[in-house]
Amino acid sequence: MAEKKTEEFQGFELDQHLCFAIYKANHAFNRFYKPVMKKLGITYPQYITLLALFEKDDQRVSELGERLFLESNTLTPLLKRLEEMGFISRTRSKEDERQVIVSLTDEGRGLSDGVIDVQHCAFTSLDASLETVTELVDQLNDIQRKLTAAKAKVPA
Amino acid sequence: MAEKKTEEFQGFELDQHLCFAIYKANHAFNRFYKPVMKKLGITYPQYITLLALFEKDDQRVSELGERLFLESNTLTPLLKRLEEMGFISRTRSKEDERQVIVSLTDEGRGLSDGVIDVQHCAFTSLDASLETVTELVDQLNDIQRKLTAAKAKVPA
DNA sequence: AGTGATTTAATCGTGTTCGATTTAATTTGA
DNA sequence: TCAAATTAAATCGAACACGATTAAATCACT
């Protein structure tokens, strides 16, 4: 059982697995942001969604989904909650009734100030230079791109 | 609205946010592993859990939880599913009846071969040297450690 | 114009995550 | 010894993630 497959993977321990390291870092960000988001009355996925809207307002659900790698089955209920809380509005497009346009309300836009504070707090907690972080972001985006492209070839 | 807060954060776009880059990379790993895990009949979180057991068998639920940053509320149902599928056993400790010891079954141990194949596939898809990946893992673990230590200081 | 294919969002069921609480076993201290 | 505190896992409810399906609108093509 558990014969050696390649030299490089022998003895790889959990902590050294890239996927686990990413899992943990994601987890840590989640935990870090959660209490602050709670103060704002939103969850971390809702925060990520709002980030996408701060960057570009009035997006279609599917447009947001491409950006966030989520689909309507996840986004629809999440967006309905943000709408209920008054941070966004959801309106059917006049040109194409199939499309739902998601827009920030004034109250939603108002969250961005608090959000920028937290980002700054996270950044300073990391105690890293902007260059280091930028390089890391590039590497992670590269990994994401390559894994997405590889698309997990399931042979059999 | 959205006044500048610090020089460094001005104009930070979604793609450049570290938390979003990590979110996406985690997502990509999830998607990458999912179809293969499906073939093995397990989910990605179940896979991560089994990794921890491959590394150290016969762990208590809380011990596993420390390793995976999960608690019994998440682990208990997940472990029950793994038990139902016959990959692990859950037995109350004789010394302390409060503790539940999680152990791999032969069938569970048998998954490790398939798992190592997938890891290798992911590694080659990344097209990166072992050194690069190792360094990245170290950086991510560092981020995780610092964020966890910072513990999100909510002032008000 | 009208039928079939496509697109868009919504819905449904299962599994994961987590805060909060509960239950049972063990430990502590009077 | 025995009641209070602590610990370990389980339970509960809400939110998220996703595969699969559905409903409605639009498009394409004859």
Mutate to test the interface with A, among B22, B105, B117, B123 (most CBs of A within 10 A): B22
Question: Are the Cβ atoms of B140 and A55 closer than 8 angstroms?
Answer: no
Class of the CATH domain delimited by A14-149: mainly alpha
Whole-number pLDDT of residue B151? 62
CA separation for the pair A153, B4 (Å, rounded): 45
- Blockwise average pLDDT, block size 10, chain A, 156 residues: 43 75 94 89 94 95 96 98 98 96 97 84 87 93 90 49
The answer to whether strand C lies under 7 Å from the CB of residue B90 is no
Architecture category of domain B14-148 in CATH: Orthogonal Bundle (1.10)
Hey, which residues 9-28 in chain A have their CB within 8 Å of chain B?
9, 12-28
CA separation for the pair A104, A54 (Å, rounded): 8
Percent of chain B whose pLDDT exceeds 90: 65
Four-CA torsion A115, A139, A24, A70, nearest 10 degrees: 60
Of A52, A125, A136, the CB nearest to B146: A125
Q: Does A41 touch chain B (CB under 8 A)?
A: no
Whole-number pLDDT of residue A2? 42
- CA distances from residue A79 to A43, A58, A104, B14, B116 in whole angstroms, order as listed: 12, 13, 11, 18, 39
**pLDDT tens-digit readout, B46-69:** 999 999 999 999 999 999 999 999
Residue B28 has pLDDT above 80, yes or no: yes
Compute the average pLDDT of residues B80-105. Answer: 97
Whole-number pLDDT of residue A49? 96
What single DSSP character describes residue A60? E
**pLDDT tens-digit readout, A51-92:** 999 999 999 999 999 999 999 999 999 999 999 999 999 999
Whole-number pLDDT of residue A116? 82
CA separation for the pair A115, A37 (Å, rounded): 8
Whole-number pLDDT of residue A4? 39
- What are the residues whose beta carbons fall under 8 Å from the beta carbon of B20, sequence distance 6 or more? A48, A51, B14
Q: Which nucleotides of C are covered by protein (CB under 7 A)?
A: 7-13, 15-21, 24-27
Q: Cβ contacts (< 8 Å) between B127 and chain A: which residues?
A: 146
Residue of A nearest to B134 (CA): A16
